[in-house]
Amino acid sequence: MIDISRKVNQTRITLARGDITKQQVDAIVNAANSSLLGGGGVDGAIHCAGGPAILEECKRIRATTHKGGCPAGEAVITGGGNLIARHVVHTVGPIWRGGKKGEPEVLGNAYRNSLQLAAGAGCKTVAFPSISTGAYGYPVDQAGKVALSTVEEFLKSNTTLEEVRFVLFDEITYQAYRDALDSIT
């Protein structure tokens, strides 16, 4: 199910239920861990579907520009390996610690930095999961508001993207993002 929910400039912000690894977009965003070496959830699914080429690029990134891994709020980009998407943007969201440790700012940076990398790589369409709401424990209703408001703000000054899609795995997350989209102006 895809629901075209809002336009900012000429860019569509859409919400969809489904599997992010099967999206026909230029780039998908990986809710990665700081090691960039794969993990569970979305990260594991992307590495599995994309094949070993993604892991090899991540290892090269760790060996050169991000020794020791990628800090929370930052992002790196690789090829898409066996995925439909040409690129994977790997970003690390914050671990939820009650909301008083800068989590909203770090989560906003994860979305913003991912969009900048995708646009810089010439991508017109980008698909995001709900970053940090799985194992990292960020409350999905709060994460949805941060995600959507950050994307909307970014699109006010960026006109290269045609669509930013949020691909949400379950109905609870999808509904939280619908509610968040309705609440931001």
Task: Tell me the catalytic residues.
Answer: 43
Residues forming beta bridges with residue 167, ordered by sequence position: 16
Tell me whether strands 75-79 and 163-168 are parallel, antiparallel or unpaired: unpaired
Amino acid at 96: W
> Cβ atoms within 10 A of the Cβ of 76, count?
23
**What letters, b where the CB count within 10 A reaches 16 and e where it falls short, cover 130-168?**
bbbbbebebebbbbbbbbbbbbbebbeeeeebebbbbbb
* Spatial distance between the Cα atoms of 65 and 110, rounded to a whole number of angstroms: 17
Dihedral sign of CA atoms 113, 57, 47, 21 in order: positive
